[in-house]
Structure 1
Amino acid sequence: MAARLDAQPAHPVLRVAVDGVDGAGKTIFADELAASLSSVGREVIRASVDGFHNPRAVRHRLGRDSPEGFYCDSYDYAGMRKALLDPLGPDGSLGYRTAIFDADADQSVSQPEMTARPGSILIVDGLFLHRPELRGVWDDSVFLRVDFGVSVPRGAARGPGFGSPDPAAESNRRYIGGNELYFREANPEKWVGVVVDNTDLKAPFIVPDAARS
C-alpha cells in the first residue's frame, strides 16, 4: 500500500482514508502505513475522524443506544472538510488542523493551524469515511474488512470501557447497527481503492476486486 501511494501525484496533498468498523485495526494500520511512507522520505500528516466528533448533545439526540444516532450524528463532517480535507485539496490553502473537538471533554479544541508541504500524504483513519458527503475528497483509500465476530471481541480487549466482547450484547447494538446502516447506505467496498482482509493481524491480504461486496 505504501508503494501504491508513493507512486501517486499529490495535488497538492494526497488525501488517503483508512476505513473500517471498530476493532478492524484502522489506527495501527494507518500508523504503520505512515511509518512505511516516512521511511522512503515522504512527509506524512496523520489524523483521525475522532478529532471531529459532534458535541455529546448532538451525538445522543436520538438516545445513547440508537444505531441511527451513531451513524448519522457521531461526526462533524462539514467541520472536518473545512479544517482539514479542503485546505489540503486542489486549490486549498495548505493551512490545516487535525482536530476541532475533544469528545471526552465535550468541548472544542483550540489547535493552532499548521501548514502542509506540497507533496505530503494525509492519512486519516476512522469510521464511515466513505459516506456520500466524503466520497469525493479521497485520492485513495483502504477499507479493512473484518467480521463483527472478530472485530467486537478485539475492540473489547482494549480494556474496561470498550464494551462487551459478545456481538449480540445489547451494549453493542448501537455500534453494530450503525455500521450496518453505513454498509447499506454507502457500500464502502464499492468506492474504496483497496480492500484488505484484516481478520488475521499477522496475515492480512488484499481482497481481489471480484470478491468485493
Structure 2
Amino acid sequence: MTRWAPEKKDTVRALAVEILHNYGHGRAFIAVDGPDARADAVFADDLVVALKEQGHAAFRASVGDFLLPRAQRAIAGENAIDELTFRRVLIEPFRMGGSTGWVPAAFDARADRPFESTWVTGPADALLIVDGALIGRAELAGLWNYAIWVEGGDTADRSPEARGRSAAVIDNTDPDHPRRLFDDAC
C-alpha cells in the first residue's frame, strides 16, 4: 500500500502559517534543532523562505556561529558557546526591535577566530530562526517563543528532553517529504 507523504514545501508552509498566526506581530525567536545539524540548518533555511513567501520578515542565525575558541571548547565541551556574546550581540539587540542592529554570527569555528562583525537590521515585526539551539542547552531554553525538533530514522530518541520542549516535531526521515508528528499525551 502506498502511503501519502506531503511535499516539503507544504509541510514547511503549514508550519510557517502556524508560527505567523501566533507570532506575526513584534519580534519572536524560533529554535530549530535535532540530532542531524545539517538537516536542522536546511530545515531552518527552508522555514525562512516559507515565512518570507508569507510576506513576513525572517532572519537566520546558528548557535554554531557563537562557539567558544577551540582551546576553551576542549575544556568546556565541543559544542560550548560564548553565551554572553550570543545574548549581547544577537538576542538582546534583536529583541529590542526598531532600528537596533544585531550580529547573526560571531565566531568561525573552522578557522578558530572571530568573524568580522556584520550588523543586520529589520522591521519591528520579524522572526529570528536559530538552528542548533536545543540539544544540551538548557541555559537557552527560556529564549525561544517556538521550538521545532527535526528528527529522522533511528535518531528519534537521542534527546527526549529537547524533543519534549518543542512545539513541533518533524519526521525528516525522507527530507523531500518531511511530516509533522503529533505526540498524543492523553
Could you tell me the TM-score, scaled by structure 2's length? 0.79
**Which residue matches 1:170?**
none
Question: Is the Cα–Cα contact under 8 Å of residues 46 and 122 in structure 1 kept in the other structure?
Answer: yes
- Within the candidate set 107, 112, 123, 1:106 is matched to 112
Q: Which residue of 1 aligns with 2:90?
A: 84
The aligned counterpart of 1:160 is none
- 1:204 is aligned to 178
**What number of residue pairs does the alignment pair up?**
171
Distance 2:113 2:68 in 1: 9
Q: Which residue of structure 1 aligns with residue 61 of structure 2?
A: 47
Instruction: Please give the per-residue CA displacement for 1:78-137, whole angstroms capped at 9, x wherever unaligned.
Output: 321221112222689842100111111111122132222110111111253572211111
Question: What letter matches 1:35 in structure 2?
Answer: V
Secondary structure of the 1:203 match is coil
Which residue is 1:193 aligned to?
167
Instruction: Give distance in 2, aligned partners of 1:190 and 1:132.
Output: 12
Taking only the aligned residue pairs, the percentage that are identical comes to 32
Look up the SS of the partner of 1:33 in the other structure: helix
Quickly say closer, same or farther: Cα 1:92–1:52, change in 2 above 3 A.
Answer: farther
Which of 17, 21, 44 matches 1:30? 44
How do 1:124-203 and structure 2 match up within 5 A? Answer: 124-126=130-132, 128=134, 131-148=137-154, 183=159, 187-203=161-177
Q: 1:200 to 1:112 in 2, by over 3 A?
A: closer
List runs of 5+ in structure 2 lacking aligned partners.
Answer: 1-14
Residue aligned with 2:116, SS: coil
Query: Partner of 1:171 in structure 2?
Result: none
Match of 2:28 in 1: 14
Q: Deviations over 1:26-52 (max 9, x none)?
A: 111111111111112111111111211
Rounded Cα–Cα distance in structure 2 between residues aligned with 1:97 and 1:58: 22
TM-align CA RMSD: 2.7
129-138 vs 193-202, which moves further: 129-138
Q: Indicate the residue corresponding to 1:3 in structure 2.
A: 17
- CA separation of 1:6/1:102 partners in 2, compared to 1, >3 Å: closer, same or farther? same
Which deviates more from structure 2 when the two are superposed, residues 79-88 or residues 52-61?
79-88
Query: Judging changes above 3 Å, is the alpha-carbon distance between structure 1 residues 114 and 203 closer, same or farther for their aligned structure 2 residues?
Result: closer
Do the aligned residues in 1 keep the contact of 2:35 with 2:155 (CA within 8 Å)?
no
Q: Distance in 1 between matches of 2:137 and 2:155?
A: 24
Matched residue, 1:154: none
Tell me the distance in 1 between the aligned counterparts of 2:172 and 2:111: 32
Q: Which 4+ stretches in 1 moved above 4 angstroms?
A: 90-93, 147-150
- In 1, Cα distance between the equivalents of 2:39 and 2:75? 29
Q: Is the 8 A contact 1:17 1:129 kept in 2?
A: no
Could you tell me whether the CA contact under 8 Å between 1:56 and 1:106 is conserved in 2?
yes
Query: Within 1, Cα distance between the matches of 2:144 and 2:136?
Result: 9
